[in-house]
Each structure stands twice: as structure tokens, then as C-alpha cells.
Amino acid sequence: MDAGLNRVCEGLAQALVGRGWMLATAESCTGGLIAAACTSLAGSSNWFERGFVTYSNEAKSDLLGVDASAIATHGAVSEMVARAMAFGAVRRSHAQVAVAVTGIAGPAGGSPDKPVGTVWFGFSVDGRLTSETMRFDGDRQAVREAAVRHALARLLALLQGA
């Protein structure tokens, strides 16, 4: 893990431990990379509770309780699904904080409405849900890495503002 990402994870650790909170992740397009970045720090068991890799639509419903009709109506890569993933990660864990990521890493799967590189993020911080979308350039690896960096940096910013 590079130094910048390591600093963000260290900041998350401090913010979460300082509040006595735990983190859960709900990942689709990043396939567990956010959880891997968090748990690369020694002592992460003090603030990282669990990670859900919910790559398929069925996994999003089964593990996180995302309503299948929401996926059918809005698509897996949507604000509604990202928010539901974050909510489900908190609800189905012992965490007070969650980050969720669902997107199109490519090289295929994009559409005019949702081009490759489109990623939705959901955040749940102490019962408050927020979400945002980003569009990242590059190949599959670049999109996934950018999504990890953004998810963790944004979560840290939300925690610092909480």
C-alpha cells in the first residue's frame, strides 16, 4: 500500500478508535480492496469489524438486504443501491460506520447513462446516510484503485466532520 493510502487508513483508525466505533465495508466493483487496505494496518481489529464482498446482485440482496426490486428498477450501479448497501452493512454487522461501493470498472459493461468508470459510493456514519457518484478514467485496475482511494478519503472527511 502506498504512503498516501496508508496515511488515510491511519487517520480512519484514529477517528474510529477515538469514538469507539467500528467500520464495515460493502464492496462490489472493488472486490474487497477497501477491506484489504484497512486491514493492512496492524491493530485494525480495533476498528475494522467486517467486510462484505457483494459482487452479484443476489449477494447484495442476500448479505446486505438490498431490495431486489430496487436493483431491477435502478440498476446495481445507482445511488439507491449504494445507500442500501451502506445501510445493510451497518444493520448486518456490529459497526457504526460503513462505506459501500458499486460501479463499472470495465473494460465492458458501460452504457451511455453509466459509462465505464462510473462508481456510486454510499456512506453510513452513526446512522446518517450520504452518497455520491464519481467517474474515474483509466483501465479496470485504475478505476478500482481510484474508487478505493476516494471511498476511504471521503469516509475520513465525513468522520472528521461528524
Q: What is the CATH number of the domain that holds 134?
A: 3.90.950.20
How many structural domains are present in the chain?
Answer: 1
Rounded distance between C-alpha atoms, residue 132 and residue 117, angstroms: 14
- Look at residue 119 in the predicted model and tell me its pLDDT: 98
Task: Tell me the three cell numbers of residue 36.
Answer: 484489504
pLDDT in tens, the chain (162 residues): 799 999 999 999 999 999 999 999 999 999 999 999 999 999 999 999 999 999 999 999 999 999 999 999 999 999 999 999 999 999 999 999 999 999 999 999 999 999 999 999 999 999 999 999 999 999 999 999 999 999 999 999 999 997
**Helix/strand/coil for 77:** coil
**Closest by alpha carbon to 95, among 48, 29, 146, 39?**
48
Instruction: Give the residue ranges of DSSP H helices in 2-161.
Output: 3-19, 33-39, 57-64, 68-74, 79-91, 140-161
Q: Which residues of 36-60 are buried (b: 16+ CB within 10 A; e: fewer)?
A: ebbeebeebeebbbbbbbbeebeeb
Residue whose entry in the numeric block shows the C-alpha cell 466532520: 161
Nearest Cα neighbor of 149 from 127, 125, 113, 119 is: 119
Q: How far is CA 77 from CA 1, 3, 39, 119, in A?
A: 27, 30, 26, 7
Q: How far apart are CA 106 and CA 44, in angstroms?
A: 31
Pick the closest to residue 23 from 110, 89, 118, 112 (CA basis).
89
Range of the domain at 31: 3-161
